[in-house]
Amino acid sequence: MTNVTMIVAMGRNGVIGDGERMPWHLPEDLAYFKARTMGHAMIMGRRTFDSIGRALPGRRSIVITRQHDWSHAGVETAHSLPDALFLAGPDEVFVVGGGEVYREAMPYAARLLVTEVDQSPEGSVTFPPIDPSAWVEVDRVPGEGFAWVTYERRS
């Protein structure tokens, strides 16, 4: 078991974004994201960081970029996913997107926190397929227009 959890909100069609923004506004889910990640390290791609625009309080932000001159106040920088995981250390770390980074991090993840949004928005950025032979759903909490679903990697 690794210490890596991926947290994502996705539509029925797997869409998570249009390249810049998230396709929906779900304040309840933003509060869920905050509660789950608070106090932990978060790893994100540089494009996701740009879409947020700032380091979120109470959590370490580790941004992956191939640009060696990139930096931002309040943010740690890594130039590969393994380097980011090393920086994060042994405690639970949250991979928070986007599409490119989710794909790279999928093999490292032990747990997926998926907000299944009851929409099929247009968008070019998707979450990688959740292979049922590798993942088992262990929890499902229904909400208004979405469900919070937890998967664990089959041992």
Ligand X SMILES: NC(=O)c1ccc[n+]([C@@H]2O[C@H](COP(=O)([O-])OP(=O)(O)OC[C@H]3O[C@@H](n4cnc5c(N)ncnc54)[C@H](OP(=O)(O)O)[C@@H]3O)[C@@H](O)[C@H]2O)c1
Binding site for ligand X (CB under 6 A): 8-10, 16-22, 45-48, 51, 64-67, 70, 79-81, 96-101, 104, 125
Cis peptide bond N-terminal to 58, omega within 30: no
Amino acid at 74: G
Taking the complex as a whole, the smallest distance from the CB of residue 107 to ligand X amounts, in Å, to 13
Omega of the bond leading into 98 within 30 degrees of 0 (cis): yes
Token code pair at residue 149:
């679903």
**Contact yes or no for 115/32 (Cβ under 8 A):** yes
Nearer Cβ to ligand X (21/140)? 21
For the CB of residue 91, give the shortest distance to ligand X in the complex, in Å: 21
Q: How far is the CB of 25 from ligand X (least distance, A)?
A: 11
| 4 or 96: CB nearest ligand X | 96
